[in-house]
């Protein structure tokens, strides 16, 4: 079972029962909780609890914004700090899974459009792409975590890093003879290999989320109780 998908579905359903102002507030809070600051399961649980609080406030004739007052930024910071933080395994599996599906779409599309299933390419090309993705993930983990909560121009630093690494990689490596030389591999084999990679990481990701769910804490409720 895809727990994250089910949580998102339930959150979307329950969010229709709260005030629009509170819905916007919850989105502002959870938008700051990307995978480099908080694991996906905790993020959905936080969103579920905030929606539940907003529903309760609505019954009382008030709003979640009134309950939190001017401490929204501090409250968001405390949620992130009191969560289990990011999951390195989740980030790794997500990166590999999304990379695999990208390979499948691009190379599968090439084969379908060309109708030539004997097409080959240098084995160094996919290796260099994975090297690039690995370096970019490490840089994002470092810089997104450091600058995500910035309010001024500093919050755009991760985007600059992404752009620079992307430009350097494709300018130097893709145009370099390294990516066009060496032994070749049939593209259809790459597609099949990445189908297996996607399947393995898909099930490993779901299992990891299940493990996170088994040991989760009620982050929002604990913080609210501490402030009372």
* Those residues with Cβ within 8 angstroms of residue 15's Cβ, 6 or more apart along the chain or in another chain: 23, 26, 51
CA geometry: angle 51, 54, 57, nearest 5 deg: 155
d(CA 99, CA 41): 21
pTM for this predicted structure: 0.74
Task: Give the E-state strand segments of 38-195 in sequence order.
Answer: 120-122, 184-186
Write the pLDDT tens digit of every residue in 120-154.
877 877 777 777 777 777 777 676 665 655 566 66
Write the pLDDT tens digit of every residue in 158-205.
667 767 776 777 666 655 655 566 788 888 988 999 999 999 999 999
């Amino acid at each position: 079972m895809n727990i994250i998908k089910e949580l998102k579905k339930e959150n979307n359903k329950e969010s229709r029962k709260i005030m629009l102002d509170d819905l916007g507030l919850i989105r502002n809070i959870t938008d700051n909780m990307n995978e480099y600051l908080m694991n996906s399961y905790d993020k959905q649980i936080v969103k579920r609890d905030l929606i539940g609080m907003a529903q309760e406030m609505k019954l009382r004739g008030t709003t979640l914004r009134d309950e939190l007052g001017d401490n929204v930024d501090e409250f968001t910071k405390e949620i992130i700090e009191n969560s289990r933080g990011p999951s390195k395994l989740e980030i790794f599996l997500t990166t590999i899974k999304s990379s695999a599906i990208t390979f499948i779409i691009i190379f599968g599309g090439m084969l379908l459009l060309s109708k030539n299933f004997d097409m080959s390419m240098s084995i160094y090309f996919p290796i260099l792409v994975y090297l690039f993705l690995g370096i970019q993930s490490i840089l994002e983990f470092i810089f997104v975590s450091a600058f995500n909560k910035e309010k001024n121009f500093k919050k755009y630093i991760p985007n600059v890093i992404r752009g620079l690494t992307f430009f350097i990689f494709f300018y130097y490596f893709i145009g370099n003879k390294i990516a066009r030389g060496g032994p070749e591999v049939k593209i259809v084999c790459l597609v099949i290999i990445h189908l297996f990679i996607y399947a393995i990481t898909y099930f490993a990701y779901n299992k990891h989320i299940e493990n996170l769910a088994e040991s989760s804490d009620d982050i929002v409720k604990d913080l609210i109780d501490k402030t009372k």
